[in-house]
Amino acid sequence: MSTLNLGILAHVDAGKTTLTERLLYAAGVIDEIGRVDDGSTQTDTLTLERQRGITIKSAVVSFVIEDVAVNLIDTPGHPDFIAEVERVLSVLDGAVLVISAVEGVQPQTRLLMRTLQRLRIPTLIFVNKIDRAGAQCESLLQSISERLTPAIIPMGSASGLGTRSPSFMPYTAADEDFMSGLVDLLADHDDALLAAYVEDERGVSYRQLRGKLAAQTGHALVHPVFFGSALTGAGVDSLIGGITELLPAAEGETDGPLSGTVFKVERGPAGEKIAYVRMFSGTVRVRDRLQLGGEKEEKVTAISVFDRGSDDQRESIAAGRIGRLWGLGEVRIGDAIGEPRTTLERHYFVPPTLETVVVPRHPAEKGALYVSLTQLAEQDPLIDVRQDDSRQEVYVSLYGEVQKEVIGATLQNDYGIDVEFRETTMICVERPIGVGEAVELLPKARSPTTPFLATIGLRIEPTASDSGVRFGLDVKAGSIPTHVYKTVEAFHEAMERTVLKTLRQGIYGWEVTDCTVTMTDCDYQAPPRRWPGTAASDYRLLTPLVLMGALKRAGTVVCEPIHRFHLEVPSDKFGATVSAMARLRAAVQTQEMRGSSYTLVGEIPAARVHALQQQLPALTRGEGVVECEFDSYKAVRGKFPTRPRTDYNPLDRKEYLLRVMRRV
């Protein structure tokens, strides 16, 4: 039996969880179909999910259809929880992108499809909710083709749209339009097929065409489209047929080299960590010792594998499977088991651009709050908890207001801590604006003003937007302290780690990005020639001082996250909307009148998006529609905002030395 790890993705409320329920029912795993609105589904199991009727965390369920063991991952659609989707993408063999037949292609649909295509994940499209009034079919295909991808092929036709008993009829070889559409689509990537078909239409059998369709779908070149209703079950059998026929099963040698990815971490009833893994190659067994992201090896104490509707305790988990591992106390989301899978990108979506301070209502719970948030951050690394040293305030990063409410409710329900949030502010970045260099020389002996036994010279230079940070060595091999670091690579790695950590807080306290840091000078002293020898801590502690010196000379500009908006308003509300937008620091770049409404396109600071969404209904009698999407970081005009530091400020040499020396 083959295995297929399948993700269900969509804009919020398109019907992913309902479809999951329908698939479990069709596979005979459940006898009764749960309803999101009653809080009775298999995958929305958290109290908060049931109360709110939305999915917050990805959940795995498994079933068997037509000899394929499917592990299905139901993901959240709300943009505040995009991080959950991101982590799942790296473990999928295929995906179903759900689109509501009434709402059509929505902002999140576009973002998800773009990402699925970039990662070359084989994807079927399921147009859901054809039972609802206003359901579209032909015009939706047009819109999918224009806004998502032209490489689509409808696999059948829907009828009874907007009624309680709609249906979906799959096309067959007898449907001429379907056949010619299929050949046209497949021939785009298959010259031989085109030639054969031109020569003799009947020379290519329908079976061969279906085989080619599966192959091209498997390479994410084309996307078959199904229609149906998760609620009534219409079209679901055809979709199941498509999933087993057209999506490629998991591959991987069970006795190959060990390779897997941790995509979810949760805590069990006794507080123990449980890691969800997808194995790509090799086999992990109970009592195996694994070294993941942490320093030490840890023993796997138990394994469960998702299989045919349940997850059962097993002795091992092999390539292709999804399961859970116990015993790994240090495990974090994203950790690789064995050989990491090489992906060029670490983040598929933009990291959170907002943050807020979390304050316990009872000041005595400050410590407990920090510990609980750190635990939540294990399950969601993008929460990124920071505690500022001086005021002892705890910051969390956010995608939006719903996520804030969910964090608040989770702290209350799971940890019994009642919290308030300060106003949401944006997370800026700093970009160097010039080249800066600094050097500190190896002193004759340690002294309170020159306590580090090392020479470090660093240069920082700005690079293009979105290029991130790069680090390189430009020093002679002989100047590297090989009595501390065994190889040049080890030294490079240690220096890079310290440089990246230091750059998390620039001159104004924001993360520094889009630059290259080069080590230009390096020296050390080593026994037996000179005593004492330079230690790793000399490099670790001196680097921040030198780097910030160089950064100060380079100078930085603070840049804020900017979203691109697409806003439709009724024409009589145009004036009021434009003035409101100006108050929100939005810049309208184009405006166009279409019928009785205006379409405005432009830029707005991320920090104002929520206010815009709140004000819009009142401004436009509830008729305004806005779509926002992160665009870029742009220089803040006027005074730069600052962010409190969480480290020993290396910008202040005296203070830094004092505090570091006291700690060492």
Ligand X SMILES: Nc1nc2c(ncn2[C@@H]2O[C@H](COP(=O)(O)OP(=O)(O)OP(=O)(O)O)[C@@H](O)[C@H]2O)c(=O)[nH]1
Residues in contact with ligand X by CB under 6 A are 10, 12-18, 36-37, 54-55, 76-78, 128-129, 131-132, 229-231
d(CA 282, CA 321): 11
**Under DSSP, is residue 442 helix (H, G, I), strand (E, B) or coil?**
coil
Nearer to ligand X, 113 or 300 (CB): 113
Residue (154 or 509) nearer to ligand X, CB: 154
Choose the stretch contacting Mg ion; rule: CB under 5 A; options: 8-16, 119-127, 130-138, 586-594. 8-16
| Residues 182, 184, 188, 190, CA torsion sign | positive
Closer residue to Mg ion, CB minimum distance, 55 or 502? 55
Q: Say whether residue 563 binds Mg ion (CB under 5 A).
A: no
Cα separation of 264 and 306, whole Å? 14
Part in contact with Mg ion (CB under 5 A); list of ranges 10-18, 265-273, 495-503, 510-518? 10-18
CB atoms within 10 A of CB 61: 23
**Which has the closest alpha carbon to 378: 329, 345, 343?**
329
87 binds, among ligand X, Mg ion, none (CB under 5 to 8 A by kind): none
Residue number with CB closer to Mg ion (34 or 481): 34
* Residue 400 contacts which entry, ligand X, Mg ion, none (Cβ below 5-8 A, type-dependent): none
Is 1 in a helix, a strand, or coil? coil
- Least separation in angstroms between residue 71's CB and ligand X is 18
Are 171 and 269 in contact by the 8 Å Cβ rule? The answer is no
Terminal Cα distance for the chain, rounded:
58
Instruction: Please identify, using beta-carbon distances, which residue of 6 and 277 lies nearer to ligand X.
Output: 6
Q: Of 82 and 495, which CB lies nearer to ligand X in the complex structure?
A: 82
Bridge-based pairing of strands 469-473 and 436-440 is: unpaired
CB of 19 or CB of 373, closer to ligand X: 19
Helix axes 236-246, 16-26, angle to 10 degrees: 80
Tokens of 293: 């992201």
**H or E, element range at 575:** helix 574-583
Tell me the closest approach of the beta carbon of residue 450 to ligand X, in angstroms.
58
Are 97 and 16 in contact by the 8 Å Cβ rule? The answer is: no
Residue closest to ligand X, measured at CB: 77
CB of 15 to ligand X, least distance (A): 3
State how far the Cα of 452 lies from the Cα of 404, in Å rounded to an integer.
Answer: 43
Give the total of residues touching Mg ion (CB under 5 A): 3
- Residue 230 interacting entry, from Mg ion, ligand X, none, C-beta within 5 to 8 Å by type: ligand X
Q: How far is the CB of 129 from ligand X (least distance, A)?
A: 4
If one counts every other C-beta atom within 10 angstroms of the C-beta of residue 266, the result is: 13
Q: Does 223 bind Mg ion (CB under 5 A)?
A: no
Check if the beta carbon of residue 11 is closer than 8 Å to that of residue 108: yes
Distance CA 350, CA 115 (A): 11
231 binds, among ligand X, Mg ion, none (CB under 5 to 8 A by kind): ligand X
By CB under 5 A, residue 17 contacts Mg ion: yes
Please give the Cα distance from 403 to 409 (Å, whole number): 10
- Closest distance to ligand X from the beta carbon of 620 (Å): 25
Instruction: Please report where in the chains the tokens 């050097």 appear, as a residue.
Output: 439
Partner whose binding site includes residue 30, from Mg ion, ligand X, none (CB under 5 to 8 Å by kind)? none
Token pair 């859901």 is found at 128
Q: Minimum Å distance from CB 21 to ligand X?
A: 8
Q: Dihedral sign for Cα 178, 139, 18, 311, please.
A: positive
DSSP output for 406-418: HHHHHHHHHH---
Site for Mg ion in 36-95 (CB under 5 A): 55
- 86 vs 521 by CB, closer to Mg ion: 86
Q: Which residues contact 207 (CB under 8 A, 6 or more apart)?
A: none
Q: Report if residue 129 touches Mg ion, rule: CB under 5 A.
A: no
Note the helical H segments in 5-46: 16-26
645 binds, among ligand X, Mg ion, none (CB under 5 to 8 A by kind): none
Q: Find which of ligand X, Mg ion, none residue 284 binds, CB within 5 to 8 Å per kind.
A: none
Residue 13 or 521 with smaller CB distance to Mg ion: 13
Whether residue 34 contacts residue 41, with contact meaning beta carbons closer than 8 Å, is answered with: yes
Two tokens at 162? Answer: 């907007």
**Interacting partner of 14 out of ligand X, Mg ion, none (Cβ under 5 to 8 A depending on kind):** ligand X
Minimum Å distance from CB 17 to ligand X?
A: 3
CA distance 5 to 94: 7
Beta strands in 54-113 (DSSP E): 59-65, 68-74, 94-100
**Closer CB to Mg ion, 17 or 42, in the complex:** 17
Taking the complex as a whole, the smallest distance from the CB of residue 53 to ligand X amounts, in Å, to 6
Q: Least separation, in Å, of the C-beta of 264 and ligand X?
A: 16
CA distance 556 to 641: 12
| Cα gap 4→27, rounded to integer Å | 14
Of 128 and 167, which CB lies nearer to ligand X in the complex structure? 128
> Is 455 near Mg ion (CB under 5 A)?
no
User: Minimum distance between the CB of residue 43 and ligand X, rounded to whole angstroms?
Assistant: 8
How large is the C-alpha radius of gyration of the chain? 28
Q: Which does 356 bind (CB under 5 to 8 A by kind): ligand X, Mg ion, none?
A: none
Binding partner of residue 18 among Mg ion, ligand X, none, CB cut-off 5 to 8 Å per kind: ligand X
Find tokens 């959940």 and name the residue: 59
CB of 557 to ligand X, least distance (A): 38
15 binds, among ligand X, Mg ion, none (CB under 5 to 8 A by kind): ligand X
Q: Shortest distance, CB of residue 11 to ligand X, whole angstroms?
A: 7
Pick 50 or 492: Cβ nearer ligand X: 50
> Which segment (17-25, 83-91, 130-138, 144-152) binds Mg ion by CB under 5 A?
17-25
645 contributes a contact to Mg ion by CB under 5 A:
no
What minimum distance in Å lies between the beta carbon of 54 and Mg ion?
6
CB–CB of 230/22 below 8 Å? yes
Q: How many CA atoms lie within 13 A of 650 on its CB side?
A: 21
Instruction: Find the shortest distance in angstroms from Cβ 17 to Mg ion.
Output: 3
CB nearer to ligand X: give 22 or 278. Answer: 22
Give the residues lining the site for Mg ion (CB under 5 A).
16-17, 55
